[in-house]
Amino acid sequence: MKQYLKLDEWSIIEEGFDPHNHEISESVFSIGNGFMGQRANFEEQYSGSSLQGSYMAGVYYPDKTRVGWWKNGYPEYFAKVLNSTNWIGIDVDVNGTSLDLAKCTVKDFVRVLNMKEGYLSRSFTAVMEDGKELKIEAVRFVSIVRHEIGSIRYSVAPLNFSGELTFTPYLDGDVKNKDSNYDEKFWLEVFKEAGQGTGALTIKTKKLDFHITSAMFYEILKNGEKLNLDAEIIEREKFVGNRVSVQVNEGEEVSLYKYVANVTSRNHGLGQLVEAAREVLNTAVQAGFNALLSEQATAWSDKWKESDIVIEGDVAAQQAIRFNIFQLNQTYSGEDDRLNIGPKGFTGEKYGGSTYWDTEAYCLPFYLSTADSSISRNLLIYRYKHLEKAKENAKKLGFTKGALYPMVTMNGEECHNEWEITFEEIHRNGAIAYAIYNYVNYTGDFAYLGQYGLEVLAEISRFWEQRVNYVPAKDQYVMLGVTGPNEYENNVNNNWYTNRIACWTMEYTLDVLNYLEQNEPERYTELVGKLNLQEEETTKWQDIINKMYYPVDTERGIFLQQDGFLDKELVQVKDLDPKHLPLNQNWSWDRILRSVYIKQADVLQGLFFLGDRYDLDTKKRNFDFYEPFTVHESSLSPCVHSILACELGYQEKAYEMYLRTSRLDLDNYNNDTEDGCHTTSMAGTWMSVVHGFGGLRVKDGVLHLNPFVPGHWTSFSFKVMFRGSRLKVNVTDKEIIVLNETDIPAVISLNGKEHTISGMGDVKVAR
């Protein structure tokens, strides 16, 4: 854990420049708008360690798989969201010497991510090698109003000299991904053009033919007055820029305003890209930097009205939850059902920016509660559109029917190449099925089942039907050779969670079939015909449900993570020498696999998902047994434990786990934030507050709340959208107040008692 950021309720603040923290800060201070994202790289040159990162949503590259040896079924490629045109670049020379924070003395450095208004600022004093001092202030943002626009104000003031400042604003498409399998550059130049104060650059991927056009315009002001300067035009391969010099006296300020439009062939025709970029750019330039920044603040204010969580009495917790909400709103807007959420969002390259089961298991609840239901619906539509690819994936592994959704994907094809995950971590199918249930249960949108849901559920159930083995001697079904959520166990038999979520999926599919037969008989008949669904299939599903084998330890009264789990040496994490942690950075993989230690919630993941099926005593026995063996080396682990701890009344453990998940990146708990923020676990952080401390559940179409205030807080409040109503929940140690901020009445249950809240009304309950 590394704490170097200042605590503040609305901002992330770094005071003082330490190059050792820079790549961590590049991740933490990232900005985005759901369509593009930018790491917090410096505008000026920087020769120190840095991961340059500008990313455009949905633009990716199929980087050829690199493995030691090939196995049948391996995917041909690993998909990567590409590091694209560096649009922020502004080189600065002082009397011919480059400004480079790795080569000069840096004083009074402050970097601020203003989460309330949605922009990044940076200020510092640079002392050049010859003693010249200059003050730099920079502000930049990517617009959440104009999704293809980014803008920068970069100001320089000489403090102890007069001389010449030279600025080189540019667009650079000659970039590469740090995680390229073969150190390959993925871009080719298509078009470039530069003029006085302008530039445009089009590049395309070597495969898949994605095109990106970036167009820039800049202007320079001295002491607030616009200058008319002749620029040197620079053009080279995949690069356009201007070089312009300004004579400046001590104490004067020169400001460069740079506007950039980034457009892609995903949203524009190839022949219209340059024109589209220039048109978008012109409207931004006409508005001006201050107006763009003002509309950015207004738009973020609206977002915070929907999704803010207020915590009183704990600044670290307050800052952390807002940071998590901010990054989630920067990463996914839900307006494009072709897009999904990568585990690092737009903050880094690890995991390729691809879609994992994280979306369905962790992200969906956040968007269900903080946005219109169409947003979360689009996350499900994304998977529905990939159903045929999922069926192809199953066939590649030898299955004659059914669908296996990929562990990692961009377009529905599997692109992950670790055997134990690609072919064995099949529980992801269950997360996708559960997301359909979660969406319908929360929104009441039962029409989704007939429109899209049943087809996905049926094909997943067909997969489970083939994946199990029937053992005549036991008259039971088993599931062999799987990897559960705990990836510190590979190729195990009868992972409890996988067996359980498989049977739950088949149960839910049968329930949906029954619902449609009773309520939409015509659509039911149509779908049964489309799916060619046979009675012997549904009979088989029921037989598997009835006869599935689950490993248990009757003496302890717990579900076993898998067969043979108790054969391990049962040494708890607290009894390990701390020098061994984190295990994944200190132990061999062989040693990890033979140990008892758990990477993330596994059995407990099932008890979290299917909480309505198990009583508190069952949850308590399993939590008390498994949590002491859990090292939480997955970012997805602490949030599940926090929610269950809340339910069990373990308030200190719940708070400990909340702080760990919420400040995972801010404090670099896992020593890996430089690779990018853990974006999908941020949704788990939100769940820790709302589902954990807020006790939110949905039962029989009614929103249930059973909140408590952690001892470290004096009060907290959160907002949730539920079936058209937006409810603000305030919790203190004395009372719970729920305010309906819409005209739509809402029925809720508070601490087990049902209430109807009229439009714009409220209800108060003593605690």
pLDDT, tens digit, for every residue of 481-512?
999 999 999 999 999 999 999 999 999 999 99
Contacts of 604 (CB under 8 A, 6+ apart): 622, 623, 626, 627, 640, 641, 644
Task: Taking residues 421-434, report their average pLDDT.
Answer: 95
DSSP letters along 231-252, please?
-EEEEETTEEEEEEEEEE-TT-
Summarised one tens digit per residue, pLDDT across range 197-207 is 999 999 999 99
* Confidence band of 733 (pLDDT split at 50, 70, 90): very high
> DSSP 3-state assignment of 460?
helix
Instruction: Give Cα 535 distance to the centre of its chain.
Output: 41
Tokens of 8: 């503040």
Residue type, 172: D
Summarised one tens digit per residue, pLDDT across range 88-113 is 999 999 999 999 999 999 999 999 99
With pLDDT > 70 as the criterion, what percentage of the chain qualifies? 100
Active-site choice (14, 360, 425, 487):
487
pLDDT at 231: 96
Contacts of 418 (CB under 8 A, 6+ apart): none
Distance CA 476, CA 661 (A): 39
Is residue 336 scored above 70 in pLDDT?
yes
Whether the Cβ atoms of residue 755 and residue 703 lie closer than 8 Å to each other: no
- Residue where the block lists tokens 């949906």: 512
User: Exposed, middle or buried: residue 479 (CB in 10 Å: 0-12, 13-18, 19+)?
Assistant: buried
Summarised one tens digit per residue, pLDDT across range 734-758 is 999 999 999 999 999 999 999 999 9
Annotated active-site residue 487? The verdict is yes
Q: Please tell me the least confidently modeled range out of 132-141, 188-197, 243-252, 663-672.
A: 663-672
Task: Taking residues 121-136, report their average pLDDT.
Answer: 97
- Residue where the block lists tokens 């740079």: 258
With pLDDT > 90 as the criterion, what percentage of the chain qualifies? 90
User: Exposed, middle or buried: residue 46 (CB in 10 Å: 0-12, 13-18, 19+)?
Assistant: middle
pLDDT at 166: 98
Is residue 298 scored above 70 in pLDDT?
yes
Distance CA 658, CA 664 (A): 10
Is residue 66 scored above 90 in pLDDT?
no
Whether the Cβ atoms of residue 405 and residue 457 lie closer than 8 Å to each other: no
Which run of H or of E encompasses 393? helix 387-396
Which residues on adjacent β-strands are paired with residue 221? 226, 255
pLDDT at 351: 83
Is residue 1 scored above 80 in pLDDT?
no
Write down the mean pLDDT value for the chain.
96
User: Exposed, middle or buried: residue 224 (CB in 10 Å: 0-12, 13-18, 19+)?
Assistant: exposed
pLDDT at 422: 84
> In terms of Cα–Cα distance, which of 739, 704, 744, 705 is closest to 724?
744
Q: What is the pTM of this model?
A: 0.96
Task: Taking residues 673-687, report their average pLDDT.
Answer: 93
* Confidence band of 690 (pLDDT split at 50, 70, 90): very high
* Confidence band of 216 (pLDDT split at 50, 70, 90): very high
Summarised one tens digit per residue, pLDDT across range 529-584 is 999 999 999 999 999 999 999 999 999 999 999 999 999 999 999 999 999 999 99
Whether the Cβ atoms of residue 533 and residue 457 lie closer than 8 Å to each other: no
pLDDT at 67: 78
Summarised one tens digit per residue, pLDDT across range 638-665 is 999 999 999 999 999 999 999 999 999 9
Task: Taking residues 144-161, report their average pLDDT.
Answer: 98
pLDDT at 210: 97
The residue among 335 and 530 whose pLDDT is bigger is 530
